[in-house]
Structure 1
C-alpha cells in the first residue's frame, strides 16, 4: 500500500489506488488484506479508479479499540472522501456484508456488488454461528491465535487434515498475525443470518454474485441477498467457486458498475 487516509476515530487506513474513472473500492473478507483483492484491479483499471485497502487491524492499516462495525463503515467513508466523494463498492465473503452495511448506512455509494456473502440461513444456521462466536471469543481472549484460525478454517468447511497441513505452512504465521481481526468479521456477519430488514433499506443497485460450483447453501444465501435488496440482482458464474477467478468476475462487475 502506498497511500494512507485517516478514519474518523484517528485510525490510519492504508490503500492503493490505480486506474482512472469512477471509483470502485474493493473490500476484502476474513483472513485477508488488500493484497488479497488487488488481483481484481488490473482487470478494471481501464475503466475505473480502483482502491484496494487494508481493513483495520490487518496489513499496513492501524487499529483503535474498542472495535465496532460502524468504525469499519467510517473507514470506507474516509476512503470514499479521499477518492472524491462517491464510489461503488465490491466486497467478497464477509467483506460483502461490510460493503452492504456501508451502503445501508447512507454513505455516498453508487452501487454495491458482493460475491458469496456467507450468511448461514441455508447452511449451519444461527446455532453454529453462536457456537463459533463463543469459541472464537474465548480463544482470542486467551491469546490462542492459532486456535482461532483453526476455528475459522473449520467453519469454512476445511477438512481436518488440511487444517493440520495449514499449520505447517509458511503462511501460518501471517494468518496468526491477523487472527484478532476474525472477531471483526464475525461482528460484521451479525447473527449469521441474512439481514433482510437492513438490506431492504439500501436504495442503490445491488449485485449479488455466486460461483456455479459453490455449495448450494452459499448460492442460496447470495440469492437471498439479491432478493432482500429493493433493486437487487443475482448472477451465477459458471465454473467458479468461492476462490473466484478475477478474470471471470471482472467483466460482470464492469458491466454492473457501468450501468
Structure 2
C-alpha cells in the first residue's frame, strides 16, 4: 500500500486504482480498506478510487490519544494525495466522520453517505453508560465482549444474531479492530442528527439506504437528507446495512462523474 503522513505524524496507508475524477471511500466500524474490494472494480472504469485504512487499522498507524479532529486530518491527507479535492463516499460511522469533516471545511466536492449512525426521536439511543462500559472492556483487553457489547448495545442485534455473526469469516476482523470501536463511538457524539449545522452545508450530498435495512437506519438517512439544503435521498435494493454492489457502483459512478 502507498503511505501518506497525516498532520500529527501518523502514517495512513491507502490504495489507488482506476481513472477519472477522484473519489475517496471511507469505511465504518470494524472494517479496513478491504471492505471496498468489491466496490472498487465497479468504480475504477469511471473514477480514480482512493481507499485507506483508518488510523488504528490495517497498515495505518495510530496515536496514543484519539481525537475526531485527527481522523478528519487523515481524510484530508488522502484527499491531498487525490489532487487536493475529491468526492467522498462514506458509510456507517464513517458517514458520521465524513459529515464532521465536511462541516469542518474538508475539500469535498460532493458527498455521498450510506446510512449514517444517528438515532431520530422515534428510536432509543444506546443506554447512558454504553460508551463507558465499552471503554472498560477495551482497557481490560476483553475484545470479544467489546464486540458483543457494540453489536447488541449500539446496533441492536439480538443474542441469536450475534451468535450467527460469530460463525462468520469476519469475526476475527471484528476482534482485531475492536479497539477502534471507542473511536467510532466518539465520532457518533450524542447520536443525534446535527440538523442545525447541516443546514449550513451547501455541497451536493447524496444519502443512500438499503430497502431492507433497519428502520432506525432508514429514519436516520431520511432525517439527514431533510436537514441538508442540497441533499437527495435514494433507497436502493440490498440487505441489512448493505446495498447491492452493482447498484451501488453504478449510482456512485453517476454521482461522481455528473
Give the TM-score taking structure 1 as reference length: 0.93
- 1:11 is displaced (CA, Å) by 0.5
State the 4+ residue runs in structure 1 displaced beyond 6 angstroms. Answer: none
1:50-100 alpha-carbon deviations (Å, 9 max, x no partner): 011100011111101210111000000000111111101000111111111
Q: Which residue of 1 aligns with 2:143?
A: 145
Q: 1:3 to 1:153 in 2, by over 3 A?
A: same
Contact 2:238 2:244 in 1 (8 A): no
RMSD: 1.7
Q: How does 1:47-62 map to 2 (within 5 A)?
A: 47-62=46-61
Residues 1:49 and 1:143: Cα distance change in structure 2 (over 3 Å): same
Distance 1:77 1:129 in 2: 33
Structure 1 residue aligned with 2:243: 244
For residues 20 and 131 of structure 2, the distance between their equivalents in structure 1, rounded to whole angstroms, comes to 40
Partner secondary structure for residue 90 of structure 1: strand
Task: Give the structure 2 partner of residue 120 of structure 1.
Answer: 119
- The total of aligned residue pairs comes to 257
Instruction: State the shift of 1:161 in Å.
Output: 2.7
Q: Is the CA contact 1:122–1:217 (under 8 Å) kept in the aligned structure 2?
A: no
Task: Kindly indicate whether the alpha-carbon contact (under 8 Å) linking 1:122 and 1:221 is maintained by their aligned counterparts in 2.
Answer: no
Tell me the distance in 1 between the aligned counterparts of 2:163 and 2:122: 24
d(CA) in 2 for partners of 1:153, 1:217: 15
Q: Which has the higher helix share?
A: 1
Per-residue CA deviations over 1:87-128 (Å, capped at 9, x if unaligned) read 0100011111111111111111101001111211156433x2
CA distance in 2, matches of 1:100, 1:114: 9
Counterparts of 1:1-259 in structure 2, within 5 Å, are 2-122=1-121, 124-126=123-125, 128=126, 130-154=128-152, 155-167=154-166, 171-259=170-258
CA–CA distance in structure 2, aligned partners of residues 63 and 153 of structure 1: 24
Q: TM-score, normalised to structure 2's length?
A: 0.93
Unmatched 5+ residue regions in structure 1? none
The verdict on how the C-alpha distance between 1:84 and 1:239 changes in structure 2, with shifts beyond 3 A counting, is closer
Q: Is the 8 A contact 2:237 2:243 kept in 1?
A: no
Q: Distance in 1 between matches of 2:46 and 2:171?
A: 36
